[in-house]
A = this chain, B = another copy of it.
């Protein structure tokens, strides 16, 4: 019966708990991230309802200071952006909380306001464009993609862990290339777990070439240091010294560049990894 009326649920449900155990978990299997796309606008009163309406996972608690923190994180991004608009070749915004998982109308992935998207929009509004966003965090920048995927005037490229295996799962697949006026101005390059610097730089070459060919004149970088081999929640094999090469390749695009800090969870190594990445911009004109 179930195979007829609900074949997908049945097949999933039969194997779900065993898969949970096989993944090294204990207790009951439970979800924490959901594919919330193309939602209908609803007028909902209850805070519980609105929490779901404005988020896509259970990883983004709202504390009393969340708004203030998110607000000033975005202001930090804008300060860096303004420095570049003012003539600095590169500026780095040490944003906390990060932003690239937050969409125009949803929170998620420890992100509340999309700092990179906010900065890119201001660069666009200031006439500095065409603006491209390059996301080199370990995770796909689903929020940024959602904000711009139907727009042809801002390019979004992301190199990230394959969403078939890694958060945020429901976005960042290679066949997501933009829609409507934005068709062709989204580029997703999913990479397998274990990716090392050589393969990473090859993907970066592809992304940089596409951005250059598109005619970008301004670049916003979503930089995550969670591609680091020692990151506790990620699975690439980028070493500390590799970050300089990643930074250098982006610097070689020779565009005014605002760098926005995203993820990075190996706290002890984080400063060194970020510094090494930024060192790649040292020779930038």
Contacts and interface: CB of A to CB of B under 8 A. Distances in A.
Nearest to A5: B118
Given A8-B54, A8-B104, A164-B46, A35 B39 contact: yes
A163 B44 CA distance: 8
A78 B1 contact: yes
A20 B62 contact: yes
A13 interface: yes
Nearest to A81: B1
Contact of A104 (B9, B13, B38, B47): B9
A282 interface: no
B13 A112 contact: yes
B9 A105 contact: yes
A164 B43 contact: yes
Contacts of A48: 23, 31-33, 167, 169
Shortest beta-carbon contacts, A-B, top 8: A28-B61, A31-B51, A49-B169, A34-B34, A8-B105, A29-B62, A19-B47, A31-B52
Interface of A: 1-2, 4-6, 8-10, 12-14, 16-17, 19-20, 22-23, 25, 27-40, 42-58, 60-64, 66-67, 70-71, 74-75, 78, 102-107, 112-114, 117-118, 121-122, 147, 163-167, 169-170, 173
23 contacts: A2-B118, A5-B113, A6-B102, A9-B54, A9-B112, A12-B50, A16-B62, A17-B63, A19-B50, A29-B47, A31-B51, A31-B55, A31-B58, A32-B58, A35-B40, A37-B38, A40-B170, A42-B163, A42-B170, A43-B164, A46-B165, A48-B169, A49-B167
Given A5-B121, A5-B147, A8-B104, 18 more contacts: A2-B71, A6-B105, A6-B114, A8-B105, A9-B104, A9-B107, A9-B113, A12-B54, A16-B50, A16-B62, A17-B63, A19-B47, A23-B47, A31-B57, A31-B58, A35-B36, A42-B169, A46-B166
